[in-house]
Structure formats: structure tokens, C-alpha cells
Chain A
Amino acid sequence: MGAPFDLSFVFSFLPKLLTTLSTTLLIVACSLLAGVIVGFIIALPRLYKVPVLKTLAEVYISFFRGTPILIQLFLFYYGLPEVLKLVNVDMTRTPVLVFVILTYGLHTGAFMSEMIRASVTAVDKGQVEAAYATGMTSYQAFTRIVLPQALGIAIPVFSNLVIALLKDTSLAFTLGVMEMTGKAQTLGSVTQHFIETYIALALIYLVISFTIEKLLLVAEHRLLRHEAQGSPVKRKFSLQKKASYRHIIADMGPGKGGGA
């Protein structure tokens, strides 16, 4: 199978794969943005218990969490044009990337909404009551009191979701998008050096996920710095503080265990 192993190919493939990194990151960034917006829209009816919308949101989340992303990709790519044809919208000229971003956006949106819901409920109810007591409206209480705290709690899960999304983009090649995995497969079949390309590919993914993880860890520390105030032994406190909300995170469950 293929040519004999040659380590030097790994290094020569790295720059070639990096040229398609922008496509991968574009998919991640756009779907993340879409996912956060969708997530908010989906989470609000559940948080405020809006009658019919709440059920719809639950079905939406259940569907997107209950089916593999690969199936969703195919479903949207082949299904959406046909459904839209019924209302006379022509989608034959739409670039594939649009379908890919749409699917990942909707998929991530479902997980995002669970994350948002869990972290908002994790904020002590007394906080909202205190905000009302000082005369804030519910909108003010949400944006000024609840949201900043929820953000800090949500970051670890958010970081998991971003990394999962990054790795899910490796499936976009099935629809013919030339992102990193697609590029790696073409490189592999052109040169017959499959393992070397995939090792290079794995290395790039590894470095990116590592970077994202570290960046979001910094963000987490910044967002939760209000919890560490007035503590002379910062390091010790930060350990304690972690324990105080980690158990909430463990109960949240929107993590994508193993996920494709």
C-alpha cells in the first residue's frame, strides 16, 4: 500500500496543508458565530419557558444532538435545495461552503444552546433577585448581572465545543470542500505517501486545538477574575475556586464525548 515511509515527506507536506488552513478556520469561525446566535435563540424559550417555542427548541436540540454530523451534512446538502425548490428558490449555484457552514452552524447551535442554558441556570437565582431589588429591569439584570457570570462558567464547555467543531470540519471533504483533510487526501493519492500526509495533518490539528485550548484558558481566568479578588494566595484560591464550579460543569453534559 503506497510508497515506503519517508519522514521527510511529513515536513514537505506541512506547508502544503497549511495553505488550506484558512478554509478550515473560515468554516470554524463562521459556524461558531452562527452557532452562538442560533444557540441564544434556542436557549431563550427554554430559559423563559415560552409555551410552544420551548417544545420546538427541545425537538431541535434532540434532533441535532441525536444524529451524526455526517448525516446532517448530507441531509442539508441534498435536501435543502429540494425543499427550497418547492418554494421556487434556486440553490443550484450556491457554493458548497454555504451548506457546510449552515450545517455546522445549526449543529453547533444545538450544543451551544445547552451550554448557554446550563451556565445561565448555574448563576445563583439570588443574583437576579438582588438586581430586581435595586430596580433593574429583567433585560438589565440579564445583560449586566447574569450574562457576565454565565460567560465565565461557560468557557470550559465552550472551549470543548470549539475544539469539537474544529475536528468536525474534517468531514467537509465528503461534500468536496478543499479543507485540510480534503487536501491531505489529494496529496496522499497524488504522491502515494498516505501516512506521511495524515501524520502532518494530525500534527496541524493537534497544534491548533492546543492553541485554542490555551487561549480559552486565558479567557476563563480573565472572566472569572472577580472570584479571585482580595485573595493574597492567588494560586491556592484559584484551585478552590475551580472546584466550586467544576461540579456544575460536570452536570452540564453538552460535551461531545468521543464525537466524530
Chain B
Amino acid sequence: MKLDPSFIWTAFLQILGAIPTTLYITVVSVLAGFVIGIIVALIRIYKVPVLYPIAVGYVTFIRGTPMLTHLLLIYFGLPMIIDGLAVQFGWSFRSVSIPMIGFAYISFSITAGAYMSEVVRSGLLAVDRGQIEAAHSIGMSTPQALRRIVFPQALAASLPNLSNSVIGMLHGSTLAFTVSVVDINAQAQIVASTNWKFFEAYLAAALIFWGLTFLIERVTALIEKRINLYNRGGVA
């Protein structure tokens, strides 16, 4: 086995085709995770009776266990639940009709949800309480105050964390290979083992991930500049 620098480029081109799968997983899990995160964070901030301990338990469990475990639990556990229910209620739907990538979507969304809820919660708590009181004093309802006053500011405060989470999910999507979804990492493995050139293939994959991460960082920096416009301070 000899080092073959030119193969890095060949592998690079072959791996490029798997980028959409990786991005799908990342985008779906981040968006679904964000929705879950907002719900969980609001439950925790407003201390909704029964749901509060459930939300706390969910966040602790997900943050205390590896992402790989969530994926494996969902992959082996969900079919059991679905098939059990299907037999009980006589559905025609069976777990085999769920595509492999579906398991990745579901499990990574659940993972992202717990991390996102912490991002959203810290963002919401970063907004001064006086802001929402001021909104109430001019006659806004709580949903209005949240939507118009608190959320925009919370978003600005939590953007760095959000970007970390997106990058984390991008990197986490490499785990999808364990449920045989062909993402960048799995494609690199295929390219590596068919050509017996492991180092070159993984280097190419690393370069692609590096580039994607760099891109996300740049885009966040731009958005951060834009979203913090209100925050110039002094006399505008």
C-alpha cells in the first residue's frame, strides 16, 4: 500500500455526490430539533405542570447518552413499537416501509431537540425581563410579546450556540453509516474499500467536512452581523 496523492482528488469527486444526503440529515434534524427545542424550552421556562418533569428527563437523558446510542435505540426500538401497534390495531403499515434514512431523521431530530432546547432556553433567558414587561405594558399579549420582542433578541443571543449545534449535527450525521445510509462518511468508506486506499479517501472526506464547517461558520458570522444591527449601542 503506497501513498497516492492523486487519488485524493479522485476520491474527492466521488464523495461529492454524497453531500446532499449529509445536508438533508443535518437540515432535517436541525429544523425538527429547533421546533422540539422551542417547545421543550417553553415548557421548562413556564414550568408547565405535568410536562415539566418529562421535558427535564428528556433533556437529561439525551444529553447524558451518546448520539450513537439514540440512533441504535430508535433503529431497533421503533420497529418493535410500530409493529406491535400495527398488530394491535390492524394497520397495514409496517416498519419495513420506513426508509433507512427515516431512522436517521427521527433519531437525530430527537438528539438535536435536546441540545436545541438548551440553546433556546439560554437565548430566552438572556433577554432582559424588562423587555417582556414593557411589551405587556403597551398591551401586547404574551404570544405577541414573545414573537415580536423576545424571540428576535433571543435569536441574536443564541446564534453562536446555534451555529455550534448545526456544526455538531453535521458532524453527527457521519453516524448514519451505522444504519447503512450513504452519507459522506459512508461514501468515503465505499471508495476506500473498493480501491484499497483508505488514507486518501478519508482525507478527501475530511476536506469536504472542513469546507462545509468553514462555510457554516462564515454564513453565521454574516447573519450575526445582520441580526445584531439593533444592538449598536450609543445613539443610533
- A-side residues, CB < 8 A to B, are 1-2, 5, 62-63, 65-72, 74-75, 78-79, 82-83, 86, 163, 167-168, 170-171, 181, 185, 188, 194-195, 198-199, 201-202, 205-206, 209-210, 250-251, 253, 255-260
Contacts and interface: CB of A to CB of B under 8 A. Distances in A.
Contacts of B145: none
Interface stretch (B61-69, B146-154, B228-236): B61-69
Contact of A258 (B169, B174, B203, B209): B169
B69 to A, nearest CB: 5
A202 B164 contact: no
B213 A67 contact: yes
B81 to A, nearest CB: 9
Contacts of A170: 66, 68-69
B9 interface: no
B31 interface: no
B106 interface: no
B230 to A, nearest CB: 19
Contacts of B169: 258
Contacts of A258: 33, 67, 111-112, 115, 164-165, 168-169, 172
Contacts of A168: 66
A89 to B, nearest CB: 14
A43 B65 CA distance: 30
Interface of B: 1-3, 33, 60-61, 63-69, 72-73, 76-77, 79-80, 95, 111-112, 115, 119, 122, 126, 160-162, 164-172, 174-175, 185, 188-189, 192, 198-199, 202-203, 205-206, 209-210, 213-214
B77 A259 contact: no
Contacts of A255: 161, 164
B65 A167 contact: yes
Closest 10 CB pairs of A and B: A258-B168, A257-B164, A78-B198, A257-B165, A68-B171, A66-B213, A79-B199, A167-B66, A194-B76, A170-B66
A69 B67 CA distance: 13
Contact of A260 (B161, B164, B174): B174
Nearest to B126: A250
Given A1-B79, A83-B3, A250-B160, 8 more contacts: A2-B80, A70-B174, A74-B202, A181-B66, A202-B65, A253-B161, A258-B112, A260-B168
B118 to A, nearest CB: 9
A2 B66 CA distance: 23
Contacts of B2: 82
A85 B175 CA distance: 30
B164 A256 contact: yes
Given A1-B79, A68-B171, A83-B3, A206 B213 contact: no
